[in-house]
């Protein structure tokens, strides 16, 4: 690893050349919104909320999968970025059925938090109102695809940490959906260990514990960092 110096929002900071822009910025108190990224599992760059502007590059780059380099000049906050992020959140709301007032994760939802940070008080896009069946076949947990934003956190934690790979994505584009095993009810899964890791890392109310009422589902994914540190110590 080589230490490099870069400029983020006019502030000169440093980090390792094997680190991405998102982590280096956060290490220096510069927050960048994201929904698919979570410490302790691999980076995916799917939600595109963490897009940033890099001087000399006409494209917006996902900061979670773009490593820092010497002399890089990065802007994480601009009208252009704000517009993109608001559109992304609006699309997530319209492509699903996110009614916060009746959600088990109300006031404990990362999608809700980001929308409030971006000051989104209305949706300008037409709602799709998809009809997706809730899977309550598991003895302990529920999967509500209407609130799923396809962040793949559950897929990655199940595969990389638990080693079960119960979850996956089927379909393409607007028809993409989360499935358990070969698209069978979660409760009939031969691979699920009922560990609950997928539930704890879900940023919305898509995965939750049975018996939870509105606003009662509080999640704590911090165990991932602890498990990652243990893995590094053993290696």
Return the domain boundaries, the chain: 3-77, 86-234
Is residue 107 predicted with pLDDT exceeding 70?
yes
Q: Which stretch of DSSP H or E encloses residue 24?
A: helix 21-27
Query: Residue 155 has what pLDDT?
Result: 98
Indicate the average pLDDT of the chain: 95
Using alpha carbons, select from 47, 103, 52, 39 the residue that is nearest to residue 231. 39
Is residue 229 predicted with pLDDT exceeding 80?
no
Query: Residue 232 has what pLDDT?
Result: 66
The predicted-structure confidence for 149-207, as pLDDT tens digits, reads as follows 999 999 999 999 999 999 999 999 889 999 999 999 999 999 999 999 999 999 999 99
In the chain, what is the straight-line distance between the N-terminal and C-terminal CA atoms, in Å?
18
Is residue 230 predicted with pLDDT exceeding 80?
no
CATH number of 3-77: 3.10.20.740
The class of domain 86-234 in CATH terms is alpha beta
CA 121 to chain centre: 21
Using alpha carbons, select from 151, 165, 223, 220 the residue that is nearest to residue 193. 165
User: DSSP secondary-structure letter at 20?
Assistant: B
Percent pLDDT > 90 in the chain is: 90
Is residue 234 predicted with pLDDT exceeding 70?
no
Query: Residue 189 has what pLDDT?
Result: 97
Residue-by-residue DSSP string for 149-176: ----HHHHHIIIIIS---EEEESSGGG-
Would the pTM of this model clear 0.75, i.e. be above it? Answer: yes
The predicted-structure confidence for 123-163, as pLDDT tens digits, reads as follows 999 999 998 999 999 999 999 999 999 999 999 999 999 99
Give yes or no for a contact between 196 and 140, defined as CB atoms under 8 angstroms apart: yes
Percent pLDDT > 70 in the chain is: 97
Query: Residue 231 has what pLDDT?
Result: 63
User: DSSP secondary-structure letter at 190?
Assistant: S
**Mean predicted confidence (pLDDT) in 52-61:** 97
């Amino acid at each position: 690893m080589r230490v490099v110096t870069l400029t983020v929002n006019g502030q000169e900071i440093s980090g390792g050349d094997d680190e991405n822009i998102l982590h280096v910025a956060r290490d220096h108190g510069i927050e960048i919104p994201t929904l698919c990224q979570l410490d302790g599992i691999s980076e995916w760059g799917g939600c595109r909320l963490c897009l940033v502007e890099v001087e000399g590059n006409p494209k917006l780059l996902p900061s979670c999968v773009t490593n820092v380099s010497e002399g890089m000049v990065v802007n994480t906050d601009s009208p252009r970025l704000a517009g993109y992020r608001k559109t992304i959140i609006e699309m997530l709301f319209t492509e699903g059925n996110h009614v916060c007032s009746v959600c088990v994760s109300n006031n404990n939802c990362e999608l809700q938090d980001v929308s409030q940070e971006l000051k989104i008080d209305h949706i300008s896009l037409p709602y799709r109102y998809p009809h997706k069946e809730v899977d309550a076949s598991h003895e302990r947990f529920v999967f509500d695809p209407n609130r799923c934003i396809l962040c793949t956190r559950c897929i990655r934690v199940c595969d990389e940490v638990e080693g079960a790979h119960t979850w996956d994505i089927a379909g393409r584009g607007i028809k993409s959906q989360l499935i358990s095993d070969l698209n069978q009810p979660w409760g009939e899964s031969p691979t699920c260990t009922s560990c609950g890791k997928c539930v704890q890392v879900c940023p919305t109310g898509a995965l939750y514990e049975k018996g939870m009422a509105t606003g009662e589902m509080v999640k704590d994914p911090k165990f991932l960092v602890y498990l990652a540190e243990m893995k590094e110590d053993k290696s």
